[in-house]
Amino acid sequence: MEWSHIIAFNLALVAAIASPGPAMLYFIRTTLASGRGIGLYTVCGLGVMAATWTALAFMGLGAVFALFPWAFVIFKTIGALYLIWIAFQTWRHARAPMGAAPTPPARAFLGGVLVNLSNPKSVLFAAAVIMVIFPQGMPIADKALIVANHLLIELIFGSVLVLAFSTKRVSAGYLRAKPLLDRIAASVLGLLGLRLLLSR
């Protein structure tokens, strides 16, 4: 493995992370609703699960999904239903004021893990990128370095966005427009869940 492989992998990662999806929408909304600290815990959960998908791709989970399509369908269906449930809860509480009790950090972290866990296509994406970019037969140390690199990229990119969205001006704007913004977020998450549910 050469550094050019890592650079190419990182470019693919940044492109994937930057594309709007349930993970980005979830941690931005969490940051706006609960503040910078909780947003960072959410990003950590998202990053850990994303890097775990890459580790599982190295261990051949993508091949398992290809060999047993029913396993992928079950996993995908559960994930899609989870996203739809988040959308329902967000829509339902759109007009509710922000709660006085802060979100516990452990809950924020777990929420991030579950949102990225809900998309098994991540392991297929990771497997495809790995096959295209990296040479075959890499030692375990190189694979561990790639997984750690993936986690670092997720944390850096997510943290930058959390810091950008956690300013007082942005948070105040969110609170003023909370009913509308929450319903937009709920609609997008629900559509993403339905898309995942209906996709092949």
Whole-number pLDDT of residue 19 = 67
Whole-number pLDDT of residue 98 = 58
- Tokens representing 102 are 């802060």
Whole-number pLDDT of residue 149 = 93
Written as one string, the DSSP assignment of 114-150 is HHHHT-THHHHHHHHHHHHHSPTT--HHHHHHHHHHH
**pLDDT tens-digit map of 99-148:** 545 678 899 999 889 888 887 777 777 777 777 788 877 888 998 999 99
**pTM for the model:** 0.75
Low-confidence residues in the chain, pLDDT < 70: 19-20, 61-62, 96-102, 175, 200
Whole-number pLDDT of residue 152 = 95
